[in-house]
Amino acid sequence: MENFVQILGARGSIPVSGPAYARYGGASTCFLICLGGQYILVDAGTGMLRLPEQVMEAPALSLLVTHPHLDHLQGLTMCRYLMKAGARLDVYGATRGGMGVEAQLRRVFSPPLWPVGVTGFPAQIRFFPIAGGFSIGSVRVEVMEGVHPGGVSLFRLSAGGKSAVIATDCTLTEDLLPKLEIFARDCDLLLCDGQYSEAEFPSRSSFGHSTWTAAARLGLDCGAKRTLVVHHDPNHTDEALDAAADELLQRNPRCGFAVEGERVPL
């Protein structure tokens, strides 16, 4: 199997729809990583509704949850993969707000908030609490804590000399940046939160996100071969992101805004 990362959803905070979002897409955060001969999903936003057919056919999938905010979980509620009897989803996530990953999902998937509980799907769901690095088959997953309300896990996935770093829902603070530069050093692909412009950021600095210029700079400083800005603000139309794309390229010639559906070879 070819190594790649596919952007199934790049929108942040809430999914959006309509012609103004046709190019970059409206589905919320979900990334598909094919590495070391297996499929690993990072986050289960509404992009999870569009799993490619070859992924649907896999007997087992892994899902890494960065944090349990709804824009990162909502796709599970209608995920076709979970409708498959005999399929298995292994969910990895950290304790947040005193709740383990299983308790987090049980809260979202429970009547009257949602009619089907986590044990109500034909597919089996297994839960794996994480507190540090771990392995999934031949894929090594390193974890570092980011800066976000309630906390967030940043992931580095590596296998066979290839690596992808996912740093969504994170403010790139002065304290965090030196550690994150080491964590993401020389990765093949960096997916980094860049929800806001520099003009928007001061009034939203406590929301747990970052600017696209800071994301581009991090990609340059850590030596990422490719950097994609993710968690697009729901107010940022295709026109707005296209207008900012030139600024990104000037700061980092290997950086762009993630486009829903795009597949990046590793």
Site residues (vs Zn ion, CB under 5 A): 12, 69, 71, 169
**Closest to Zn ion by CB, 9 or 12:** 12
CA dist 172 and 80 (Å) reads 35
Nearer to Zn ion, 71 or 233 (CB): 71
Q: Give the relative orientation of helices 212-222 and 176-183 as an angle to the nearest 10 degrees.
A: 50
Q: Is 153 left (phi over 0), alpha (psi -120 to 50) or beta?
A: beta
For residue 78, the minimal CB distance to Zn ion (Å) is 18
Tally Cβ neighbours within 10 Å of residue 176.
20
Min dist CB 230 to Zn ion, Å, is 9
Smallest gap from Cβ 104 to Zn ion, in A, equals 13
CB of 231 to Zn ion, least distance (A): 6
3-state SS class at 142: strand
Which of residues 12 and 47 has its CB atom nearest to Zn ion in the complex? Answer: 12
Residue nearest to Zn ion (CB): 69
Question: Closer CB to Zn ion, residue 3 or residue 195?
Answer: 195
Tokens of 87: 């399929």
Could you please report the per-residue DSSP string of 73-88?
A: TGGGGG-GGGGSTT-E
Complex with Zn ion: residue 71 or 188, whichever CB lies closer: 71
Give the nearest distance from C-beta 29 to Zn ion in angstroms.
6
